[in-house]
Amino acid sequence: MDPNLIVDMLRHDIETRALPPDTVLRQEILATRFGVSRQPVRQALDRLLAEGLVVRRSDRGLAVAGLSAEDARELAALRILVEGEALRLSLPRLDARALRRAERLAEDLVEEEDPAAIEELDVAFHAALYAACGNARMLRLVDSLRREGRRSYTLQPPGSVFRATMAAQHESILAACRDGDSAAAIAALAAHLRAAVDLQPGDTP
């Protein structure tokens, strides 16, 4: 099996919390799971270590990285800087077609219940708004920071406070983009990214 496929599968398990924080990752167990030798597993774990999804323990073993409240706040601050700049650069070039795509994605997000589909739609919504920024390296950084946050989409049922707040904030971002108001769009995005840290995804009215 290609190490890249192992990376993708383990990353998915970490981001959906099928492998929760502090889970010890043993090469021999993973090799058996994927039906490979330890070498491709070792290569995959090295990639995840570089991405910050895995950390090295004091016993030299590897485990799924945790994300403390302080880590989450620091990460949100970085995302606000990077994604705010991506939106600022993209907005003057954002055509009606891209904006309509973002609007459709936001509408689909409101009704979606499947965690994997929620994640796909959420990522696509933000990507539609940033795509015209003209900086591929910045977009890769946006994706890397989002992955490091590992927000659990399994805890966002329709009707929850979290989902209602996210939907309202997506609409605020879109409204500012429709008006071409860069400052308002960036401010709405910043509020959205902060709320993802402050709100509890499982909260219900």
Q: Which amino acid type is present at position 151?
A: R
Domain identity same for 77 and 32: no
Domain identity same for 102 and 124: yes
pLDDT above 70: percentage of residues in the chain: 91
Domain identity same for 44 and 73: no
Among candidate residues 36, 64, 92, the one where a domain is terminated = 64
Determine the pLDDT at residue 151: 56
Among candidate residues 44, 64, 84, the one where a domain is terminated = 64
Domain identity same for 42 and 76: no
The domain that holds 91 is classified in CATH as 1.20.120.530
Determine the pLDDT at residue 116: 74
| Residue 202 pLDDT greater than 60, yes or no | no
Determine the pLDDT at residue 141: 94
Token pair, residue 195, equals: 């709320």
- pLDDT band (50, 70, 90) for residue 82: very high
| Residue 152 pLDDT greater than 60, yes or no | no
Domain identity same for 130 and 185: yes
Determine the pLDDT at residue 105: 97
**What residues make up the domain containing 111?**
69-198
Question: Residue 143 domain-assigned?
Answer: yes
Determine the pLDDT at residue 205: 40
Instruction: Please write the tens of the pLDDT for every residue from 105-147.
Output: 999 998 888 877 888 899 999 999 999 999 999 999 999 888 7
Question: Residue 204 domain-assigned?
Answer: no
Question: Residue 203 domain-assigned?
Answer: no
Question: Residue 98 domain-assigned?
Answer: yes
**70-74: Cβ within 8 A, 24+ apart:** 72/149, 72/197, 73/197
| Residue 23 pLDDT greater than 70, yes or no | yes
∠ Cα 95 99 103 (to 5°): 170
Determine the pLDDT at residue 99: 96
Domain identity same for 51 and 92: no
Q: What integer best gives the mean pLDDT of the chain? A: 88
* Cβ density class 22-44: b for 16+ within 10 Å, e for less: ebebebeebbeebebeeebbeeb
Max mean pLDDT among 11-20, 89-98, 152-161 falls in 89-98
Among candidate residues 41, 64, 87, the one where a domain is terminated = 64
Overall number of domains in the chain: 2
Determine the pLDDT at residue 150: 60
Determine the pLDDT at residue 204: 41
| Residue 187 pLDDT greater than 70, yes or no | yes
Average pLDDT in the 157-161 region?
71
Question: Residue 121 domain-assigned?
Answer: yes
Question: Residue 105 domain-assigned?
Answer: yes
